[in-house]
Chain A
Amino acid sequence: MSTEILDPVAEAEESAPSRRRLSRIGVIGWVSIAIIALALLLAIFGPILRPFDPNLSDLSFANVGPFGSHLLGFDGQGRDVLSRIMEGARTTVLGAGFVALIAVAIGTTLAIATAWFGGKFDASVSAGLDVLFAFPGILLAVVAAAVFGPSLLSAGLALAIAYSPYVARVLRGAALKERAMTYIAALEVQGFGAWRLCVRHLLPNISSLIVAQGTILFGFAMVDLAAISFLGLGVQSPQADWGVMVSEGKTSLLQGYPIVSLTAVLCIVAVVAAVSFLGERLDASSKDVLR
């Protein structure tokens, strides 16, 4: 920037931030993108494309290893593991996506509202969030399961609510910084309303941070949802879900047949790692793309 002051005639060439951002992510970044694309495809088409009925149980095949078109073998109840992984991608991936989306929506709204209005509103909302912040998401989900009965919806909503103060806190700082920029003051003097300023100007300028928060939360949500389903408080067995599969694989695991739990855990870890990696990259690059 200082060079621009010293050399006002310097014409900065047209920059291509998106291209630069992509080229910066490297091999791991591309692998991450491939994993996420695969997970999304599975979430959408898995339940249609799966080779066998994921709930068809034949105890004579219990804990039988891979053969023929049963690429991942059978679980302790003689169900095709590959079919269950494909079927379970939908609740696992979309469930985590749903949690991240709701948490980001609530958190962003609170962050922008508190940053914009400030004063007593900010103080009271921030104090409320600090209290909520102290609750671990899983604990809130357990409470929700106790009150509303165990289901993906109640667990997901509880997690989303538990995550939202985290998003709100991170984004509020960014929103406050943006709110203090003189371009916002200049547009206020133009008579622009709060809604237009927040939605058209403030929000886009913190959007990369929002996306980064969303991807990081997606990873958290996937792990926490799996843990909740593992505890039997989220997705209910026999419905296929990666978290449920880890739990169901326990018995096989103890019998010396780990492939069921391992496959489900590997799927979870791969997607979480890919999403977290990209999320952190986005977070880092969002800071120097525009200014």
Chain B
Amino acid sequence: MSEHTSATEPVLSVRGLRKVFGTQVAVDDMNFDLLPGRSLAIVGESGSGKTTVARMIVGLEKPTAGTIVACGRDRSKPARRGAERKLRGREVQIVFQDPYSSLDPRQSGADLIDEVLRVHHDHHASDRKRIVGELAEIVGLDQRQINAMPKALSGGQRQRVAIARALATDPHVLILDESVAALDVSIQAQVLNVLADIRDERGISYVLISHDLAVVRQLTEEAIVMQRGIVVEQGVTADILDDPQHAYTQMLRASVPGPGWKPQRMRERKAAADAAAEAAAS
């Protein structure tokens, strides 16, 4: 990836990150730095290891090797104490793909955010109420929706609640793992606009995991392309999308259906990409 000459410390820094499941290498030697307010895309085909990277960063999966540093503090090992766990929670947050299982069915959005705030801070009840209201407004939920049980909300509305939950503790990094993929196109656009606005207002950094290259171009400055756990291309998003160097990235870009899209050509490119990967592996 491009070396940053800026004096700013990265909010997230990953070195030699590796994860092995049994005999399968899900992630192999990943390195990147994410600067405050900047955003990074991770793209790659299904099973290439994107979610595994995200889960390691938020501590849901233990890295086999490598280091993860967020906000200057190491998080490569599981947190031992509750205070450390909460501190990490205030540094990096995540929004998952599935809006249906990502909310406790017995808790309204307002109660959920209230609980998160109670766990993290000593706010007065009225302050928490005010923050719940502010977050609802930021993600575009009205009074009724933020107080409704998840059952009474649509997928897009649930995803907004999940975003509000992630923002409740004002994290420095927000990981979006296919967070809008399950929503239909018009709702996707709305939620993406919400995310873009939040970034402008809060200076938060995103790690955006997506199949949608248009979204990647819109929201990120840098990108990583993964294939079978290996980083095959890394750099400025626009460069990678406009002038892909690696055969696999070319294939990925070509696989976005557009004018002149030909299945035949895609298959050829896929074959070429696979051959290149084989050659690289041996």
Contacts and interface: CB of A to CB of B under 8 A. Distances in A.
Given A10-B154, A191-B82, A291-B151, A183 B184 contact: no
A190 B82 CA distance: 11
A290 interface: yes
A196 B119 contact: yes
B155 A189 contact: no
A256 interface: no
B102 A186 contact: yes
Interface string B232-259: 0000000000000000000000000000
Nearest to B90: A191
Contacts of B98: 182
Interface residues of A, number: 32
A219 B151 CA distance: 34
Nearest to B98: A182
A181 interface: yes
Contact of A183 (B102, B151, B155, B166): B102
A193 interface: yes
28 contacts: A4-B155, A5-B155, A5-B183, A5-B184, A8-B183, A8-B184, A8-B187, A9-B154, A182-B101, A183-B101, A183-B102, A186-B94, A186-B162, A188-B60, A189-B60, A190-B86, A190-B89, A190-B119, A190-B120, A190-B165, A191-B89, A191-B119, A193-B85, A201-B106, A201-B107, A204-B106, A290-B151, A291-B105
Contacts of A7: 154
Interface of A: 1, 4-15, 181-183, 185-193, 196, 200-201, 204-205, 290-291
Interface in B121-173: 148-149, 151-157, 162, 165-166, 169
B52 interface: no
B80 to A, nearest CB: 12
A10 B60 CA distance: 34
Contact of B103 (A14, A183, A189, A196): A183
Contacts of B89: 189-191
Q: Which 10 A-B pairs have the closest CB atoms?
A: A191-B89, A191-B86, A8-B154, A191-B85, A12-B152, A290-B105, A182-B102, A189-B58, A190-B89, A182-B96
Contacts of B157: 8
Given A12-B153, A196-B119, 12 more contacts: A8-B154, A8-B184, A15-B152, A182-B96, A182-B101, A185-B96, A186-B165, A189-B60, A190-B89, A190-B116, A190-B165, A191-B87
B104 interface: yes
Interface residues of B, number: 45
Given A1-B100, A183-B102, A189 B94 contact: yes
A190 B156 contact: no
B93 interface: yes
Max chain A C-beta neighbours (<10 A), residue from B90, B92, B102, B148: B102
A285 to B, nearest CB: 15
A226 B165 CA distance: 53
Interface string B182-205: 111001000000000000000000
Contact of B105 (A6, A14, A196, A205): A205
Contacts of B119: 190-192, 196
Interface string B38-80: 0000000000000000000011100000000000000000010
Contacts of A182: 96, 98, 101-102
A183 B107 CA distance: 11
Contacts of B120: 190-191
A203 B103 CA distance: 15
Max chain B C-beta neighbours (<10 A), residue from A4, A188, A201: A4
A243 B60 CA distance: 53
